[in-house]
Structure 1
Amino acid sequence: MKKLTTLLFAGLLAFNMNAQEDAKAKEILDKLSAKTKSYSSIKADFQYSMINKSDGLNETQTGKIEIKGNSYFLTIQGQDIISDGKTIWTHIKESEEVQINSVSEDDDEGISPNKIFTLYETGFKYKFVEEKNNIQTVNLYPKDPEAKAYHRISIMIDKVKQQITEVTMFGKDGTQSNYKIKSFTPNTAISDSHFTFNKSKYPSVEIIDLRD
């Protein structure tokens, strides 16, 4: 009887600890969401790394992103990727071509650039991990894991600034994709026209329309 009571107590303790951790994670993410939604726009410089030890993959790039609502302008690895929320223009500078695609509602492979700072809001369970030096870590687990190419996303949040400092996606194939925010500037005035490709600025580019 004593052993059974001990086991029941241990089980209840574990349940309560998980409940507290989930509640803490929710509190952190709710504060982060409220702060992020208060911004009219976001500009950020970041470092992107992709590592897969079994495949000998270890690549690092730097990039810049500007976000306004569902629109974004991403610059990375000789490309400008521009979206107004409905259409995506990928300007590959070296080959002087622009590929046009429609925005997909479902992106199972990775994180849509305009959602890097708000990806936690839908489709995830979450768990508080730790807090060190005012940096809070929360793990996200997809509610529909079979439909995703990753099994976990870890986000690190500056507790004082209420801003994401780092995001790491853990792929099912062993690949880790990491975004480390180097600078973060909110509420910069950005024209809506900035989020469409202006062909008149690049008259020599080839336009490849891949939309259905």
Structure 2
Amino acid sequence: MKKLVFVAVAFMTFLAGTAQSADKATALLNEVSSKVDSYQNIVIDFKYGLENTAENVKHETRGDVSLQGEKYLLNIMGTTRLFDGKKLYTIIPEDEEINISTYDPKKDQDITPSKMLTFYNDGYKAKWGPTQDIKGRKIQYIQLTPIDSKAEIKEIQLGIDKQTKHIYNLIQTQDNGTKITITVNSFKTDQPLPQSLFEFKENRYKDYYINRLD
């Protein structure tokens, strides 16, 4: 009987600790989300890394993205992706080609630029992780696990600057062993962005092949 009581107490203590960990993680994520929602726009310069040890693949590059609500302009690996709120434009200068499609959030479950700062609000279980000192900054990690057991993403480690409540980095591990790391180099808010930044001007690409996908 004493053993049963001890096991029961230990189990309840474990559950309480897990609940507190989740509550702390959720509270911090809510602070980050509120911060993001308070800005008119955000401009981020970042480093992108992809690694799969088993496949002997390792790649790093830099990119930048401007965000305003759901709209975004992303530049990475020589390609520009523009979302004006309805249509998604993928501009590939090397091939002089543009792909245009209507964005359907039900079909696209990836972490898109417009969701990269708030994706954790839906579909993930959060757990309090370790704190690290990185270049004089206190980075608190939150471990995110997809609720969907069939998701390709195994887990995400989300690093948050404890002082600014801004996301510092994201480390995504997939089921196939691929690890994607996005590290924020600069995070600017409420910049004087022209509205035309998120508008597609077809007359600028007269020599391009335009592929309308729908």
TM-score, normalized by length of structure 2? 0.93
Cα deviation, residue 57, structure 1:
1.0
Q: Which residue of 2 aligns with 1:138?
A: 142
CA deviation profile, 1:91-139 (whole Å, cap 9, x unmatched) = 101111111111121323x311111111111121111112233211001
Q: Which residue of 2 aligns with 1:107?
A: 108
The count of corresponding residues between Structure 1 and Structure 2 is 209
CA deviation profile, 1:53-89 (whole Å, cap 9, x unmatched) = 1111111111000000000000011111000121111
Q: Which residue of 2 aligns with 1:150?
A: 153
Q: Which residue of 1 aligns with 2:21?
A: 21
Q: Is the counterpart of residue 11 in structure 1 residue 28 in structure 2?
A: no
Native 8 Å contact 1:26 1:126 kept in 2 = yes
Q: Which residue of 2 aligns with 1:41?
A: 41
Structure 2 Cα separation of the partners of residues 175 and 136 of structure 1: 23
Where 2:54 maps in the other structure, the secondary structure is helix
Farther off after superposition, 63-72 or 164-173: 164-173
Native 8 Å contact 1:89 1:196 kept in 2 = no
After the TM superposition, which residues 178-189 of structure 1 pair with which residues of structure 2 at under 5 Å, given as runs?
178-189=181-192
Across the aligned residues of Structure 1 and Structure 2, the Cα RMSD in angstroms comes to: 1.3
Structure 2, gaps ≥5 residues long:
none
Deviant stretches of 4+, over 4 Å: none
Cα deviation, residue 192, structure 1:
3.0
Q: Is the counterpart of residue 85 in structure 1 residue 89 in structure 2?
A: no
Structure 2 Cα separation of the partners of residues 95 and 129 of structure 1: 44
Q: Aligned residues: percent identity?
A: 30
Native 8 Å contact 1:40 1:187 kept in 2 = yes
